[in-house]
Structure 1
Amino acid sequence: MNAAPTSVKAGHAAASSAVKGVLAMAVSMALFVTNDTFLKLAIREVPLGEALGLRSFVAGLFLLALIVAAGDMPALRYAFNPRVVMRSTLDTLTTFVYVAALAVMPIASTTTIYMATPLVTTALAVPMLGEKVGWRSWCAIIVGFLGAVVVTRPDPATFNAIAILPLLAAFFGSVRDVSTRGIGMQIPGTVVGFSGTLVLCATSAVFAFWESWRMPSLEVVAYVTAAGFAFGGGTLLLVFAFRSAPVASISPLRYLLVFGALVSGYFVFGDTPDAWTTVGMVLVVGAGLYALHREHVKSRAARRAAAGASGLGSASSCRPAPACAPTRD
């Protein structure tokens, strides 16, 4: 007798969780752009490894404070859970392989190749998570990718053997995102993010062997502090997104990074987008908005299906009673 109400509640919960996951992904991308902006400002004065290390340290303190405030200190032991450590390692590989490519390749080519991440993530979600990817989701991802290509306009002459690096970064990032779904819900997202900052800090420290680290100025401290908070918040929301919504629904939103970078470049660094960039922005944002629309459509369908199941359950329960029979005027 309670099967229908239970299914209704489950349907509503799943739909609500998916929408929250999509919104979390969008906000996460905005925070990551904020992180990149302040990190780029900091790198003007200190070496890359030092900036990444300081940023990761601040983000770690921020996440640790959230863990303490939520009373999740006992859950810190999960920071060394094999699945969590694997995600943290993949996150570190993604960051440093991408940065290594960025150091030797034009940013346009590096960004374009790395924007293959949503495609790889969605493709991996099929064998690794058993998700079904419809043609509309594939179209949204492809349109977003084409928008990124239009924005960056890579020079074909730059695609040589070194181009494998951003492709590896895209692969590592995709496996990281998909593997996040395998982390049990008993492990708080703050602990997952904190584990990532620990690995990033340790890896950044290695850079001190060949970089000339120096005492940062107050301005740099302000930059890395802001970047740390943005990175910590973005990581937390990213973990929540991949735990709450289907990969195919949130992957297209990664293209919002391109749009955010263009906005940051214009208002912070004085870069003015041209006509091609504007067209690309429209495609990227359009793909992201369409992904949101599709998630709302699926959520409404899930609610209607759950409501239909409830109605059928109610109807079947009252069939034996003559009073339940419909009347005609």
Structure 2
Amino acid sequence: MSKSVFRIVLGGAAAVALFPTVAGAQTQQEWRCNVDSLTPSQAIVRAEWARRCGLLTNLNPAGPSNWVASTTTFDTNFAPAKEYIEKDTLRAYTGNSQGYRVNYYYAIAMYDATPILKVEAETTGLTTGYFKWNPAPTTVARARPLYPTFETSLPAGSGTPLYPHPTDTTDCRLYRDTNSDAKGDTLYTGGIFFVVANCESSCYAPDQELLFSQGTVPISKAVQEQQVDIVTLTPDSTLDDVQLQTNHVYSYTSETRDSEHLLYTILTENGGKLRLTNEHPVVNSEGRMVRAADLKVDDELLRQDGTRERVVSVEKTTHFGKVYNLRPITRDQVTNVLVAQGFLVGSARYQNEDVGFMNRIILQRSVPEDLLPR
């Protein structure tokens, strides 16, 4: 008898859904993020916009001096950080999951979890004088910043999608999308809106080959042909017994615009090659899910047949264009492990969840039946 161990973590996706094949397998929050696709640089702009608009339009009383002491974060002098809280929850730019706290919401979007940040009054721009939480010396910026996405009602999927103005970042109004070629082309005149999801993205290079039931296919071609039968691990796979099954694609994702991406090209001792974005999850020889950016020479990756292969080179490259990903219909962690270029890697359900899942054990070794608790 064998066991596999997996853990459930929560989060959202960030790319445009190209191929929803089976209804009901994806949450409405994930769907909303798929539609509202931003690159990391665009995500930063959105997060900055949301903070600025919350401060300028939804504080009561208004003004930089109307801060409260944070209950979550300290400044570098170990005093409670200066926080602002949005008052009208029916038109808030920060989500109720963060208590409508403007600076905390911004920090969650931009930085990995940290209790201490540098708190400084802004000296330029529309929010001059407002206190902002900036990185402290030990702060780690998210490689894939989070950003809010909006609708006219809660929960996600129940209302009309809304977007900031596509070019004017000083405009705090929201816009509907009546033209599929442009997000946010018609002014929304209603007074109520909500943050319905927080989104993050990370994807494959277009030439990366994934294993489908009929063989390996570059993901860009699979998107174009809308191939369905993706190969994944079985739910009871372990390090000692790696088994594959034919699963089904729920959706493909791609960014809506060409942009520049940092890629990691990983070469192995027997000629294997992976080209992944920095946050893309890969299974190592210990059965752990790790980021491509964290791999180094002499690490070992796990192949689809369960054998290990040593990394001999990790190089940073850039790619200008679109990057892609997919989700299987299944939601558990083990069956969301795919095969790319012969190696085990995570699907979009991993990197669209909070990056805290990295380095967790996905596969353990088989446990003899006589050692299992009864």
Same fold (TM over 0.5): no
Q: Which structure has more helix as a fraction of its residues?
A: 1
Q: TM-score, normalised by structure 1?
A: 0.25
Q: TM-score, normalised by structure 2?
A: 0.23
Larger relative contact order (Cα-Cα within 8 Å, sequence gap ≥ 6): 1
